[in-house]
Structure 1
Amino acid sequence: MKLILATSLLSLLTPVQSLNNGLGLSPQMGWASWNDCASQVTSSRIKNATLALINTGLAAKGYEYVNIDEGWLKGRSSNGDITVIDEKFPEGMKALGDFIHDHRLKYGLYTSRGTVQCSTAQYNATGSQDYEVQDANWLVSQGMDYLKEDSCGGGPNNPTDAFTDYATMRDALNATGRSVFFSLCGWYTWYAPSGDSLGNSWRISGDGTNWGALTQSINANVELGKYARPGAWNDPDLLVGTGIGSNRGEDKCFDGDTEIPQSSDWYMTNDEQSRAQFTMWCIMSSPLIISANLNQVSEYALETWGNEEAIAVNQHFRTYPEGTSVEDEIYQGIRIFGDDMEYDKSTDKGSGVNVWAKPLEEGKWALVFLNNEDEVGDVTCDSECFEQLYDLDAGVKYTVRDLWEHEDEEEELVADEEGKFEYTAEGLARTGGVKMILLTPVD
């Protein structure tokens, strides 16, 4: 009941204008500096990340944005223009953007809708409130292709104030004449009903710093699929790894225990949870923005983020005939079995199992089986679960392709004598074990 009332209220607050930039027809893909260097980001780190996207092959697979989070902006000049921290970015932001563009990638920058940015123990700076037009023009003059606007310093977090602030920046970006992907970082599910009128994506939960926080993001996203569509996506936050090379490891940007204490609980307990996150982000049509040191992560992590079959599930959708109601168009995967999950990083114990599904072209369906229990186990999609795949035909056989093993299973999926389907993913690892399959009808 609370969700229904909130949705009704938010529909009255939706701005009448919209962001009309033609971008984000599929979820954005790229890299962001936050979980790598937090506010200690530097120009050299950004250049290294740009080259790493290319050298690892990730850029060729669609990871096109190089996004700089907070940590580069110093303040304002006497005329109100943004100034840059010269010691960290000696060549300036325009030259850095040129470097990224010269490598055929796209350039992202950061601000906050309030009077200040979110800040760390090592950094704080001004936000864009009351400077939206001036900031939009300055950022575009640097070559910006992508803007993440955080929600710190903006006063009370309520729809009225937040939507007004974001609409002001939206209009400022529209007025520049440059198509800029606009990523709202507002942290609440109540952005979703109005998100498409404000930006190309909107954060739906708090920072996804570890598997516990990310399971809550998954839980929150269950009810929000109806708001996702080309050009407009629910954002459950960045793709994070195990933290090697960031606030830990030989190539760290800062000491995570002393310099930026808020980073102490960042990152996954193990690689399997990182793969579980990526798999869920693919089925949920979520933005795929990696935030880690690509020169230090494991081969397993690179294989995870580079899985082209999984990426295809994220980037592709079923097309719907003209006249199909919005309610019947599914662009984000839906949970077809299971309840909300929990995970406590301090004890490394979780609970809950999920099955999610997403319709694709030619009658295909992608399914994800996720085990978040505290022991290895099987996860089954029974007949009631399969009934939610609205066009599965009991008279048709389906090949079953394992998208992590990259091979078709020997047995096809076939309905029983009563016309019902059932499938079990066996032996999934504890607290983040996952399997992703593609069902394809056999001619």
Structure 2
Amino acid sequence: MAQHKGAISLPVAKFATGSDERWSQPAFDDREWKQINTGTVWQSQGYTDYHGYAWYRIHVIIPSSLKDNAHWKDSLRVYLAHVNDVDETYLNGVKIGKTGRFPEDEGGYESKWPAVRQYHVAMNNPAIRWNEENVIAIKDYDGGGSGGIFMGSPYLDALERTDGLRVSVPQDRLQYTNKGMNAALLLQNQFNTTLHGVLQYTLYDVISAKDIRTSTVQVSLPPHQSQGLNWQAPNQEGLQLRYVFTEAGSGLKVADTLALPYILTPAITVFPKINNARVYGARPGHPFLFCIAATGEAPLTYEVTHLPQGLTLNAKTGVITGTTPAKGDYKLSVTVKNKRGLAKQQLTIKSGDQLSLTPPMGWNSWNCWGVNVSQDKVISSAQAMIDKGLTGHGWTYVNVDDGWVSPQRAADSSMVPNEKFPDMKGLGDWLHERGLKYGIYSSPGTLTCGGYLGSYGNERKDADTYAAWGVDYLKYDWCSYERIAASDTTLETYVKPFRVMQTALQAQPRDIFYNICQYGLKDVWKWGGANGAQSWRTTEDIEDTWESLLQIGFQQNKLYPYAHPGGWNDPDMMIVGQVGWGENLHPTRLTPEEQYTHVSLWCLLSAPLLIGCDLSKLDDFTLNLLTNDEVLAIDQDPLGKQAQRVLQTPAYEVWLKPLEDGSHALGIFNMQTTTNTVSLPWKSLGLQNKQQQVRDLWRQQDLGTVKDEYSVTLPPHGVRLLKIGK
């Protein structure tokens, strides 16, 4: 959002699909073009299935007061937020910036969608027409997923010294203790001039609507230097840090509110605990790999009784390998021991036609590395998954997304990895040795979203290659197939490419989880399972904003009939931790409350859980968020039902999910930007009993018997996730 007084908002534009270089010129007549909102993807504004070229033309009068009132009087900033995927921007016909490469450019298509687009024009540049109408024309190419200008509010302003200030509370500097949290307020000067001023910051409790304390400090930051201010705060939900920085020379102010991360999940105990799902599906005669997920003081030892012939347990690692036995149900008794005690669980192996009897849990490279992924980065994240204990909570898949393919196939038409992946089979072997599953990515079109080779015309060859490398998971992304489909919009045209790959996968002598990624086109949830998929994307790409979470996660309600063991609605990957999509990594823009909401909702939805952040930089808050076994158990419940929205108001939503043991998981979500108290009569949920046993799943606390109704006060966009009943 613009901070400076006098900034000019650019909320709307004229819009047309296609491309014509005349559209960059100010004299072009765009009166017949449709109006569209900036800051929101075009797919949500009437262009649902469109990908490719489009132009925005923004008409704006730029007053000379913008220059006259500026303190630096240096440059005009044209801030466009994010553009998916490539843009070339003109001011009155003069090109002022370009990010990424279009398909026809030398070197081919290069997506740069996560990069913030802000271009600077010298105040004395004759391209600026002061006090007259100006035309900002943006040529945009969307290679797949969401398209357009989004994740921010475009504006014009004058660049000032204060624009170099960054204020944050780094999560990797937070230390949680029994008394609360030790934190640092970090000030960074990103410009090459010294920054002087006064910083006032207040610790505020939104639940009680009270200031906890206020501090004022003098700030003097040399060029490209930083300063940390250490302080303490309680470890509780609903705390905000509100600050105002006033620059000494100009009086310009920078203000914002930062929500403070807090930990709800209790510390892992030293006693053994088994955390994996209680049911696992595999196909007879195929290689078998299952890692028992357990926590407790090391070392742990593992025992399994009634293990069928052909399977072997590593008693030190808990990894079961071998060949899946003949069709049938095999009930195993699993024991995990350490010097503190033991834990037992019954695990059922269902050998048959179904895979993924509970949703997959793991990591995918896209949300952090984008097409800049490499074998070293994948191994780094996989090793962090092990070292930070995520495998002990059931996280097992390690999925390589777009960016791994060489520009040319081998002489026999086999797909070849590029120089970033020197040994794809070796990578698979490395993962399997540690009990992890190996995922990969391709497209049914000629090119992937990132411009790498797709599988069109080589489906069987590619499936053979994946199997030879030991791949356990394929994400198959629509992307360029729309060019093959062209104007044919029949259902069969949309189904065919995914059926072709599934036939190729079915012919392989190993289990390969199949994810259809085509953004919900043609109601994929109605036919994805019938065409061999274990999950299907129901939405466009997610971003790390509340608006995206709202539009994607909370729009899944009508899809609940299509989720079941062996087939899952996929609302896209998780947006917690450090993300960046191949550009500079940054902490997710979701507040802590929104992150609790995100994880809670995905578990209620029985969604695939694929972490999208750099696991090697996992902070304590995010790790705690991803290792609450009672919350994860809601996602992994063997009944496999998706929650339904049972109550919806502008202020709050309530979602209810039936569980295998006869109880229910209940999510109460505050949809407001302010604190909200929700009183929930049990009868409003359709429950017969007037009293319910209630357990807070994030805090792992029994709340006892609650009669008639449950009441809770939630922070902005906060959640209470409960188990009610048995």
TM-score by length of 1: 0.78
1:268 corresponding residue in structure 2? 589
Deviation of 1:360 (Å) = 1.3
Measure, in 2, the Cα distance between the counterparts of 1:71 and 1:371: 38
Deviation of 1:317 (Å) = 4.0
- Conserved in 2, the CA contact under 8 Å of 1:113 and 1:127? yes
1:321 corresponding residue in structure 2? none
1:204 corresponding residue in structure 2? 538
**What secondary structure does 2:554 align onto?**
helix
In structure 2, runs of 5+ residues without a counterpart are: 1-282, 284-351
Measure, in 1, the Cα distance between the counterparts of 2:648 and 2:490: 31
**What secondary structure does 1:424 align onto?**
strand
- 2:706 matches 1:413: yes
1:84 corresponding residue in structure 2? 417
Equivalent of 2:512 in 162, 177, 180: 180
Deviation of 1:62 (Å) = 1.0
**What secondary structure does 2:617 align onto?**
coil
- 2:393 matches 1:97: no
Query: What is the number of residues matched between the two proteins?
Result: 367
Measure, in 1, the Cα distance between the counterparts of 2:506 and 2:663: 38
Measure, in 1, the Cα distance between the counterparts of 2:542 and 2:385: 22
TM-score by length of 2: 0.49
Deviation of 1:158 (Å) = 5.8
Deviation of 1:434 (Å) = 0.8
Measure, in 2, the Cα distance between the counterparts of 1:183 and 1:81: 22
Q: Supply the AA of the counterpart residue of 1:378.
A: T
Measure, in 1, the Cα distance between the counterparts of 2:591 and 2:365: 21
1:289 corresponding residue in structure 2? 610
- 2:656 matches 1:357: yes
Aligned CA distance change for structure 1 residues 291 and 433 (closer, same or farther; 3 Å): same
Aligned CA distance change for structure 1 residues 378 and 103 (closer, same or farther; 3 Å): same
The equivalences for 1:331-410 within 5 A come to 331-338=641-648, 352-383=651-682, 385-387=684-686, 389=687, 392-394=688-690, 397-409=691-703
Aligned CA distance change for structure 1 residues 158 and 338 (closer, same or farther; 3 Å): farther
Measure, in 2, the Cα distance between the counterparts of 1:142 and 1:434: 42
Deviation of 1:385 (Å) = 2.7
Measure, in 2, the Cα distance between the counterparts of 1:159 and 1:235: 20
Equivalent of 1:423 in 690, 707, 710: 710
- Conserved in 1, the CA contact under 8 Å of 2:565 and 2:638? no
Runs of 4+ in 1 over 6 A off after TM superposition: none
Answer with 1 or 2: which has the greater Rg. 2
Measure, in 2, the Cα distance between the counterparts of 1:93 and 1:380: 54
- 2:627 matches 1:306: yes
1:22 corresponding residue in structure 2? 354
- 2:500 matches 1:168: yes
**What secondary structure does 2:669 align onto?**
strand
Aligned CA distance change for structure 1 residues 115 and 384 (closer, same or farther; 3 Å): farther
CA deviation vs aligned residue, 1:49-85 (integer Å, no higher than 9, x gap) = 1111111211121111000001111131232110111
2:452 corresponding residue in structure 1? 125
1:195 corresponding residue in structure 2? 528
1:147 corresponding residue in structure 2? 474
Q: Supply the AA of the counterpart residue of 2:536.
A: W
Aligned CA distance change for structure 1 residues 158 and 405 (closer, same or farther; 3 Å): farther
Deviation of 1:440 (Å) = 2.8
CA deviation vs aligned residue, 1:302-332 (integer Å, no higher than 9, x gap) = 11111100011111144xxxxxxxxxxx711
- Conserved in 2, the CA contact under 8 Å of 1:82 and 1:135? yes
Q: Which has the bigger relative contact order, CA under 8 A and spacing at least 6?
A: 1
1:440 corresponding residue in structure 2? 725
CA deviation vs aligned residue, 1:228-273 (integer Å, no higher than 9, x gap) = 10000000010111436x46xxxxx6447xxxxxxx9x94332322
- Conserved in 2, the CA contact under 8 Å of 1:26 and 1:315? yes
Aligned CA distance change for structure 1 residues 363 and 43 (closer, same or farther; 3 Å): same
Higher helix residue share: 1
Measure, in 1, the Cα distance between the counterparts of 2:553 and 2:665: 17
Measure, in 1, the Cα distance between the counterparts of 2:678 and 2:509: 50
Deviation of 1:352 (Å) = 4.7
Kindly report the root-mean-square deviation, in angstroms, between the aligned alpha carbons of the 2 structures: 2.1
